[in-house]
Structure 1
Amino acid sequence: MKRLAVALAAVLTLAACGDGAGGGRPDAGTLTEIDYYEAAPQNTQLPKILDECAAQTGVKIEHQQVPRAQFMPKLLQQASSRSLPDLALVDNPDLPQLAATGGLVPLKDLPTEGLYPSIVAAGKYKGDTYGIAPGVNGLALYYNQDLFTQAGLQPPKTWDELTAAAKALTKGNRYGVAFSAVGTEEGSFQFEPFFWTAGASLSKLDSPEAVRALSLWQDLVQAKAASKSVVTWTQADVNDQFMAGNAAMMVNGPWQLPTLDKKADLKFGIVPIPIPAPTAKPVTPLGGEMWTVGHSDPQREAKALAVLKCLLGPDKSLEWSKDAGYIPSNQAAARQLAQGDPRLAAFVEEVATAQARTAELGTAYPKASEALFNAIQACLAGGKSPEEALKAAQASLG
């Protein structure tokens, strides 16, 4: 889940910025596309993949990259005047906000056979599909294989095993486990696998299941099996700690693999997020972006849908995901990716039971997420009990 350090509240503001709406569209042989990858590794391959799909469709693509903080304000301004680009790649939590404007084309005629149902469901708003991801990311548990071998331990599958392993592997300056509990959407994203797997719901932040999940994190910090600094660590910081040998395990995503692979002497494995009981299934949040089609005229919309169909095919889905460090939305392509790199098998396994962050609350998600990461901070840094912190979070939602 990249770029989540940017506060969602800022991203979702309605303030206008940039060159705004209007300006007309190019001729029907050229489609417009917008994304926020101007400074991201994916930007090196995205135009290439788009242009290849455009060539198959008989059109050209006019690319535009916008800084992340300006991206949604710009799109919302364009949506208000029905001048959205033909194709836009949006962060999946932003989809409900954009779909609510009425500026997106429902993707009713786009075939979704072979795609993960969980990913298709993530693109829905009020029953209709408005966005489809070419690939997604999520969270799993990385572990240092050498340290586990030396301690005679197996990778944890349950919360009890996670706690026991974290305590056993804590020694000197090394903590047993690292995760990001920072006071942003990034902290919520990292906590949601534990929160949802426990059976908690964003509509009731102070449920017994939610308290149980936050108690797990509190227990790890209080036992010094996790650093108190988790409240300030981003996911990049967590990865740095793991690479430096300061954490025996970490919660992180597949996008960290290229960085980890640069450290040749680090041997690590990846397993699904531990679950509270052997019968539970990990429910991780879907990270990543979705393609959307803006309303224009039937001819342009049909061409944009044809390009999107190409982008979602097994070949392009696999190519995109390899470049971005994601898991393909196409199930066959995901299996192929896992066969080529078994380290990704845990992420592939989790996609089937993953869910969109906005699945429960839609456009109300950012407010609940803020309440949740504030509760995590209040508990781990502010000294409140999980019950007190989550009760205050629920109260803040009104």
Structure 2
Amino acid sequence: MISPARPPARRIAALLTGAITLVVAATGCGGGTGAGSGGGKVTSITALDYYTDEPEHTQWGEMLTACGRTAGVKVEQTSVPPASLVPKVLRQASSRTLPDLLMLDNPDLQQIAQTGALTPLDRFSIDSSGFAKGILSAGTYGGKVYGLAPYVSTVALFYNKDMLAKAGVAVPRTWGELKKAAAELTRPGRYGMAVDANATFEGTWQFLPFLWSNGGDERRLDTPQAARALQLWVDLVKSGSMSKSVLNWTQADVHDQFIAGRTAMMVNGPWRIPALNKDKNLRWGVAPIPVPRAGQSPVTPLGGEVWTVPQSSSEARQEKAAQVLACLNNSSNMLTLAKQHFTVPSRTAVAARRAEQVPSMAPFATSVETARSRTSELGVRWPKAATGIYTAIQSALTGEQTPEEALRHAQRFATGN
């Protein structure tokens, strides 16, 4: 799957900002294409997503087909590479050829909604009850819900059960326990801990649980709370408990290190579980991200894609698209999709059912209840802050700057001061 933590490495914030005027002008008179774009009966609608990989593309195609059948239309699915989706949406908006149903990575929703290209879902009376607060926030702009996610994901701590048992180490729950466990698990050819600290939004994504759980905030990066969170990662690298190569590792690389036995613990997402299950010799477990102090709950970021209904001159096509969107987000289909993609259903009750069925999903389902949308505080200004954060991580882990210096620089970058 295109994991929520695998967004395009560089967002196109500048392109979005420059295109806002053009898009707003165009969307007011936009309209769908295909059967029923006029005043006749709607027999088909179009959908755009970035599910280009298999089996994800086929799985989503089958679900769209099934929900289209329920709504009485054929859904014509188009999938483009993740980095191409938002530029394509902007071009379609300017040429009045937006799809009837549009999938967006949740951090992109506010930027697209700001252009006027999307329709608030309350217009269609779509049921959004039972969704965790953070999940609804991920689909909200200006106080209105524009997108709903059938499922979401976040990150947790994976650990090698045999390595911990042999070293007599308990699963760490706090930062102090994490540092101690990582040190005791480190051996020649093996590190105790691994994260993705690379210079992309993935690096920011992995750092957010540590930043947020310690009271840090992307609205103000140059705080003692933020510096202490970054100092934790610096200490792990300096002590040799974490490889300096984390500066270049992707989440897939971190997973490969764990599978190969070169790290005893890692931060990663539930989409890694199918591959972990294939290794019959690997005994692994998963726990919530360690927190600064005992008794706290981790605050983790929400990943996942939201489905939206673009603006259109055809109310009939919009109604059919909304019916399909509602179908994608019903409890039964949420559970089906979550099983296929190893994610967490967005309705809390369905997530609890999923955790009962698959215990390894329980830490993710629990964390999702208090998880946050990356755009909840800064909205369209999030990409700049995210860039400042991963730049600060790089500077601090290389020793180029102290965590305090790196985060002061990140704050100046994020605010333009």
Bin for the TM-score computed over the shorter chain: over 0.9
Give the TM-score normalised by structure 2. Answer: 0.91
The change in CA–CA distance for 1:12 and 1:39 in structure 2 (over 3 A counts) is farther
Aligned partner letter, 1:280: Q
CA distance in 2 between partners of 1:143 and 1:48 (Å): 35
CA distance in 1 between partners of 2:349 and 2:413 (Å): 44
How does 1:200-239 map onto structure 2 within 5 Å? 200-239=216-255
How does 1:137-286 map onto structure 2 within 5 Å? 137-286=153-302
The change in CA–CA distance for 1:54 and 1:24 in structure 2 (over 3 A counts) is closer
Q: Secondary structure at the match of 1:355?
A: coil
CA distance in 2 between partners of 1:3 and 1:285 (Å): 9
CA distance in 2 between partners of 1:260 and 1:335 (Å): 22
Aligned counterpart for 1:128 among listed residues 144, 148, 171:
144
Q: Secondary structure at the match of 1:171?
A: coil
CA distance in 1 between partners of 2:284 and 2:5 (Å): 25
Q: Secondary structure at the match of 1:45?
A: helix
Could you tell me whether the CA contact under 8 Å between 1:84 and 1:294 is conserved in 2? yes
CA distance in 1 between partners of 2:173 and 2:252 (Å): 24
How does 1:94-113 map onto structure 2 within 5 Å? 94-108=108-122, 109-113=125-129
The change in CA–CA distance for 1:323 and 1:24 in structure 2 (over 3 A counts) is same
Deviations 1:160-191 (A, max 9, x none): 11111001101111101000000000000000
CA distance in 1 between partners of 2:153 and 2:336 (Å): 15
CA distance in 1 between partners of 2:175 and 2:202 (Å): 21
Structure 1 residue aligned with 2:38: none
- Structure 1: give runs of 5+ residues left out of the alignment: none
Structure 2 residue aligned with 1:46: 60
Q: CA deviation at 1:153?
A: 2.0
CA distance in 2 between partners of 1:23 and 1:118 (Å): 32
Aligned counterpart for 2:348 among listed residues 331, 340, 364:
331
Aligned counterpart for 1:91 among listed residues 83, 105, 112:
105
Deviations 1:127-168 (A, max 9, x none): 000111110111000010011111222211111111110011
CA distance in 2 between partners of 1:11 and 1:365 (Å): 9
Aligned partner letter, 2:175: W
Aligned partner letter, 1:9: R
Q: CA deviation at 1:5?
A: 5.7
Aligned partner letter, 1:257: I
Could you tell me whether the CA contact under 8 Å between 2:191 and 2:242 is conserved in 1? yes
The change in CA–CA distance for 1:40 and 1:206 in structure 2 (over 3 A counts) is farther
Moved more, 196-205 or 6-15: 6-15
- The answer to whether residue 21 in structure 2 is matched with residue 6 in structure 1 is no
Q: Secondary structure at the match of 1:143?
A: strand
Q: Secondary structure at the match of 1:250?
A: strand
Could you tell me whether the CA contact under 8 Å between 2:13 and 2:383 is conserved in 1? no
- Structure 2: give runs of 5+ residues left out of the alignment: 20-25, 36-41
CA distance in 1 between partners of 2:280 and 2:58 (Å): 25
How does 1:350-365 map onto structure 2 within 5 Å? 350-365=367-382
Q: CA deviation at 1:332?
A: 2.4
Aligned partner letter, 2:126: L
Aligned counterpart for 1:317 among listed residues 330, 334, 340:
334
Q: What is the aligned residue count?
A: 395
Structure 2 residue aligned with 1:62: 76
CA distance in 2 between partners of 1:118 and 1:209 (Å): 22
Moved more, 31-40 or 85-94: 31-40
Could you tell me whether the CA contact under 8 Å between 1:83 and 1:294 is conserved in 2? no
- The answer to whether residue 48 in structure 2 is matched with residue 31 in structure 1 is no
Moved more, 162-171 or 378-387: 378-387
Could you tell me whether the CA contact under 8 Å between 1:375 and 1:393 is conserved in 2? yes
- The answer to whether residue 353 in structure 2 is matched with residue 306 in structure 1 is no
CA distance in 2 between partners of 1:154 and 1:80 (Å): 57
Q: Between the two proteins, what is the percent identity of the paired residues?
A: 47
Q: Secondary structure at the match of 2:104?
A: strand
